[in-house]
Amino acid sequence: MPQDAYTLRKLNRELRELLVGGKISRINQPEKDCLSLLIYTHCGTVKLDIGLSAGFCRISVGEKRAEENPKAAPNFCMLLRKHLQNAEICDIGQVGFERVIYFDFLCFSEFSDCKMRLYLEIMGKYSNAILTKEGAIVGALKTASIENAKRITLTGAKYVLPEKQDKADPTSLKELQELFSGAFGEDGRARSGDVAAFLSERVAGLAYVTAREIADFYGGSVTAKDVYDYVLSDELSPCITYRSGVPTDFKARSVEGDKKLFPTLLGAQAAYYDYALGAKAFADGKRRLTSALESAMKKCEKNLAQIREKLAECEKIEDVKLAGELITANIYAVQRGQRELKAINYYDEAGGEITIKLDERLTPSQNAQRYYKKYAKLKRTAENLTVRRAETEGKLDYLTTIEESLKAAENADDLHGIRQELISLSLIEDTPRPGKDKKGKAEEKPYRTYEADGFAIVCGRNNIQNDRLTKGLGEGDIWLHVKTFHSSHVGILARGQSVPDGVIKAAAEICAYYSAARQKDKVQVDFTLKKHVKRPSGAPLGFATYTDFKTIIVTPDKHTEARTDEQ
């Protein structure tokens, strides 16, 4: 649900009950348009998140996402710390039926106490946070001067509320009745057309989603009194709605369809944003890794094309050698100043004649030496280029395995190891991330794990995990890999028991799903005992050779029902 005035009205009541009387313990600004306040309340410590971006503007409580704060706090964060650190929340309110929530604080200093007010304007791309004292602006997250805006938000200026829209106030029955009677005649009942569009366009504080819910609640036939009653109703049945098992929105009042009810609107909101922001962070992280990887792969492909082009030039190496030999064999017939030599090619069974270009400035012997030197240079070049081609093809192949892991990534844990690989290849910088211990060491992420007929199945998320998984299997455990395609390494922990065919089939289906062949109907998967699997010395992460294997043909299957690491 968008943070319209209707939703904020419901949230404001719960915020007052939860936070009034609480004291500010910590203030952070993890992103340029996001504030985080840690508050000591009668219910314990509460984390208040204030989002002021266009896509995720909100005031929410209890999001569990790990945050990375900048090393140097932004100016507005420092301003809030200066004035609001240890301040007590005296009141929380909504300005009329507007998308503006204010927090009143009793601030303490060594010499005096004072009251300050923080306005939170939850208005999409125009969202802002403005700290005031006695009606004057102390500071704002987003400042605007006289030249650039209708409203000044500079320090020292008088705080003025955002300009009201020319719409009917839904908390005034009289205004609603005038609107409806003017639009729909004497009975003032909206029956036809897009009622939701009419309400969102002509009634203040109602987003289209809320207006749609009002229209649906009254069966598509709505009066001014209906809107008035709905907006001012104390009824609250918060929920999160789902589509195909994925959260789509949170609601203040329960609606039809797939949903999960919550005791509080703040709880429903926090659970929804925990998912939505996590999904956004995952998408952003995956996009950054994909961009870095694609750039590296394009560079490899460009280098490979140049190497192949130069190798093609070296294919004439035998002709160069032949020219030197024929000049030497016919040196008696060559005169200085001669520009070409026509000689019998004694390597040609047909005895054909060949024309050799000469440098007229050189002696016959020097011309022959020139061809021999060129031959030696081309030979060295070809040898070096052949090595470079193999190295570049190997690197490109290795990057392709990372690309397949990235395509199969489903959550932040999947991205973690891929990021570490790209750092090890110097494709991205190693910057501090949430989830590290005090020494800066990243927490080791678990494999994908499954259970089938009492046997544990483990699946690597990336090359680092594939390498660790293979090393960690016992000699009698079963190891699986897709034939001729890049895939995750999969292991079945046998623990000295005979593994049933059904378990091997399930493991093979998982292996096929997390491979470059996941879109195919039938995939060949090799399996063997771990003792037959080796990693060649100097081979890249995730590379292995194996013998004494059998092959099973399966259809790729994610086997979500057997997953144990996400339950």
Tell how strand 113-121 and strand 259-261 pair up.
unpaired
- In DSSP notation, 282-331 reads HHHHHHHHHHHHHHHHHHHHHHHHHHHHHHHHGGGHHHHHHHHHHHHHTG
Kindly list the strands in the beta sheet with 259-261, ordered across the sheet, starting from the edge strand earlier in the chain: 246-251, 239-243, 259-261
Mean pLDDT on 452-463: 94
pTM exceeding 0.85: no
Confidence of residue 353 (pLDDT cuts 50, 70, 90): confident
- pLDDT over 60 (residue 432): no
- pLDDT over 90 (residue 151): no
3-class secondary structure, 552: strand
- pLDDT over 70 (residue 193): no
Q: How far apart are CA 80 and CA 133, in angstroms?
A: 12
Mean pLDDT on 45-65: 86
What is the reported pLDDT for 316? 85
pLDDT in tens, 293-306: 999 999 999 999 99
> What residue spans define the domains of the chain?
5-140, 173-265, 296-445, 448-562
Which residue in this structure is represented by tokens 């999947």? 414
CATH (residue range 5-140): 2.30.310.10
Confidence of residue 152 (pLDDT cuts 50, 70, 90): confident
More confident residue, 329 or 9: 9
Task: Answer for the pair 262, 240: CB distance below 8 angstroms, yes or no.
Answer: yes
Structure letter (DSSP) for residue 252: S
Task: Please list the residues that pair with 529 across neighbouring strands.
Answer: 478
Confidence of residue 130 (pLDDT cuts 50, 70, 90): very high
Closest CA to 26 of 78, 66, 74, 81: 81
Q: How far apart are CA 17 and CA 168, in angstroms?
A: 29
Mean pLDDT on 415-434: 82
Confidence of residue 523 (pLDDT cuts 50, 70, 90): very high
Percent of all residues in the chain with a pLDDT value above 90, rounded to a whole number: 66
- pLDDT over 90 (residue 392): yes
Confidence of residue 438 (pLDDT cuts 50, 70, 90): very low
Mean pLDDT on 205-228: 90
Closest CA to 386 of 296, 304, 301, 299: 304
Q: How far apart are CA 43 and CA 370, in angstroms?
A: 89
Mean pLDDT on 514-523: 93
What is the reported pLDDT for 63? 59
What is the reported pLDDT for 440? 46
- pLDDT over 80 (residue 437): no
Q: Which of 15-29, 249-263, 431-445, 552-566 bottoms out in mean pLDDT, i.e. has the lowest?
A: 431-445
- pLDDT over 60 (residue 106): yes
Work out the mean pLDDT of the chain and round it to a whole number: 89
Percent of all residues in the chain with a pLDDT value above 70, rounded to a whole number: 94
Q: How far apart are CA 516 and CA 245, in angstroms?
A: 26
